[in-house]
Amino acid sequence: MEHKKETSQFAVATINAKLQPMHRGEIYDDPLSDLLTATNRATTEVA
């Protein structure tokens, strides 16, 4: 039986915008999360 080695990727997004958390989610977090979900990527978001 052949074992496939799992690989992981790590991405950091640094946002230099003076926005409140609610607005950051609408502009940055939600579209990124939607993209990762659509491409079957598991995500963990840390604020």
The pLDDT of residue 43: 65
What residue has token string 């799992």? 6
Query: pLDDT tens digits for 1-47?
Result: 677 777 777 777 777 778 777 777 788 778 888 888 888 776 666 66
- Which residues are CB-contacts of 47 (< 8 A; sequence separation ≥ 6)? 21
> How many angstroms separate the most distant Cα atoms in the chain?
53
pLDDT of 32: 80
Say if residues 28 and 15 touch (Cβ distance below 8 Å): yes
d(CA 34, CA 39) in angstroms, rounded, equals 9
Domain chopping of the chain, boundaries: 18-42
